[in-house]
Amino acid sequence: MRELAKFYITTPIYYVNDKPHIGHAYTTIAADVIARWHRLKGEEVFFLTGTDEHGEKAEQAAKKEGKTPKEFVDGIVDQYIRIWKELNISYDYFIRTSDPSHEKIVKQLVEKIYKNGDIYKGYYEGWYCVPDETFWTDLQLKDGKCPECGRDVKKIKEESYFFKLSKYQDKLLEFYKKNPGFLSPKFRSKEILNRVEDGLKDVSITRTTIKWAVPFPMDEKHTLYVWIDALINYISALGWPDGKRFKEFWPADIHLIGKEINWFHSVIWPALLFSAGIEPPKKVFAHGWWTIDGKKISKSLGNAIDPVALAKKYSLDAFRYALLREMPLGDDGDFSEKTLAVRLNNELAAELGNLLNRAVTIAEKYDGAIEGSPELESSLNVDKIDEAMERINTFDALSEIFLFIKAANKYVNDKEPWKLKGKELGGVLYNLLESLRIISILISPFTPGTSEKINAQLGVKAGALEDCKFGKHAYKVKKGEYLFKKIEN
Ligand code: MSP
């Protein structure tokens, strides 16, 4: 039997101080689309998401509600799981950093790094941004505030263990050079390269004041810095070191993340892995932010948007589609409900919905043979769509899919099938139903529910990427509801 290609994709594990907003939904939906695409290609996919539950931020949020950290995070995790279900996220595993199996692996990995001589005891004096769970030096602060999010930082002065990140400068630079696809997208790699070339400081990896954390195995007075605990989720979920999944799926094909956590993923994570003798992931893809008036959308900046409310108002698939249609995954984009409504009305309802409606209305009344020559085939370029998806450019992929949808609509206008009969009509219907069958496959990672509806109206089964060519198929056309309802906004 032929071995299936393996594909492992991850999202960041999200902090659990509050329920997910549109930014978290964006990464998770994008990862879902990529995972579904690779399943369409017949690959064996492992899609991981989860929650980052330790640290000062969760500890503080729990205290505010008079709960223990565990009670508090359990409640938020339930909301994450429910919301991912509502957004039709097809993850294979949900990891929680409070899982005992994760904690055990974290300790084991840290012990290994310690034994390799890469952890030493020192003294940390500097600043800490609690919302970002990030250490900063005096020089890095911007007007005394966190340079990342602009919020207050607090002074920390305590004994700490350090990881020898500085030791890995050359190795990292050599690795980036040998693996040009690792730092993605390309335009963002320069920033990381410059910083690494400038020299690396060792990182403080333990705290003595945080109780809600994984104990540092070599010294019980200390707990592990939440970021070290969190990064290890990508291998603990696979059962490192001996788990079957680890052997099958590591190294990860893509860690999909937001750009503000690129440093942790592109520098600290591979260095930790080098130290433990584990291969680094193949790619870290840092996408841009959804903003409002140029400001990052975030709960603490007070401009969060509820993804479930939008999915309810505009339909889930319109929401999923609009998120990935606005800009290439690497760029920032200003969020507007108006644009979402325009895309729903003009692209999904008027182009895709209308094409299906016109085709099934005519096909239902026709009882001759549906066959002819594939006249629309030349407007379809599946390789180009796949190539865009391989570049993680969902925007280009959707543009190409919609060029084909447009071509099919133009074909209807040109052929005027309502005026045709017999063989001629059979030939036009052949082109339209085949196109719709193929469109349904191509668009299914973005709008899975819509593809199910198209398949039901055509009377065909869900296909794979290799079925995206004109061929011979049997249909049982049954007109159903409109795919999308237009909305006034
Ligand atoms: N817990 C860490 C990640 C640890 S991964 C080992 C964390 N969590 S978070 O809850 O703050 O989630 C951050 C992620 O949410 C970002 O990397 C990004 O994927 C997503 N987004 C949050 N706000 C966003 C926008 N406004 N726009 C786009 N995505 C953003 O950081």
pLDDT for the residue 302: 83
Residue 98 to residue 49: CA distance in whole angstroms = 14
User: Which of 47, 50, 48 has the alpha carbon at shortest distance from 20?
Assistant: 50
CA of 209 to the centre of ligand 1 (A): 25
52 Cα nearest atom in ligand 1: 1
**Residue of 70, 59, 235 whose CA lies nearest to 133:** 59
Distance 236 CA to ligand 1 centre (A): 20
Out of 22, 27, 214, mutate this one to test ligand 1's pocket (max ligand atoms within 8 Å of CB): namely 27
Q: Cα separations (Å) of 460 from 370, 436, 471?
A: 14, 10, 13
Residue linked to tokens 């879902």: 32
Per-residue pLDDT of the chain (489 residues; tens, 9 = 90+): 557 899 999 999 999 988 899 999 999 999 999 999 999 999 999 999 999 999 988 899 899 999 999 999 999 999 999 999 999 999 999 999 999 999 999 999 999 999 999 999 999 999 999 988 899 988 899 999 999 888 999 999 999 999 999 999 999 999 999 999 999 999 999 999 999 999 999 999 999 999 999 999 999 999 999 999 999 999 999 999 999 999 999 999 999 999 999 999 999 999 999 999 999 999 999 999 999 988 999 887 788 999 999 999 999 999 999 999 999 999 999 999 999 999 999 999 999 999 999 999 999 999 999 999 999 999 999 999 999 999 999 999 999 999 999 999 999 999 999 999 999 999 999 999 999 999 999 999 999 999 999 999 999 999 999 999 999 999 999 999 999 999 987
Would you tell me how many other CB atoms lie within 10 Å of the CB of residue 283? 19
SS3 content of the chain, % helix, strand, coil (to 5): 50, 15, 35
Residues with CB under 6 A from ligand 1: 12-15, 23-24, 26-27, 52, 230-231, 233, 257-258, 261, 289-290, 296-298
What pLDDT sits at residue 301? 77
Which structure tokens are listed for 361? Answer: 């209305």
Residue in the block written with tokens 């998806």: 389
The pLDDT value recorded for residue 19 is 86
Contacts of 382 (CB under 8 A, 6+ apart): 442, 465, 468, 469
Q: Which atom of ligand 1 is nearest to the CA of 14?
A: 10
SS3 389: helix
User: What pLDDT score does 167 carry?
Assistant: 98
CA of 260 to the centre of ligand 1 (A): 8
SS3 52: strand
How far is 354 from 278, CA to CA, in rounded Å? 52
**Looking at residue 37, what is its pLDDT?**
98
CB–CB of 188/330 below 8 Å?
yes
Task: List, in order of start, the domains of the chain with CATH numbers.
Answer: 336-467 (1.10.730.10)
Distance (angstroms) between ligand 1 centre and the Cα of 296 equals 11
User: What is the sign of the dihedral through the CA atoms of 248, 383, 473 and 459?
Assistant: positive
* Residue 452 main-chain phi, psi, to 5 deg: -60, -40
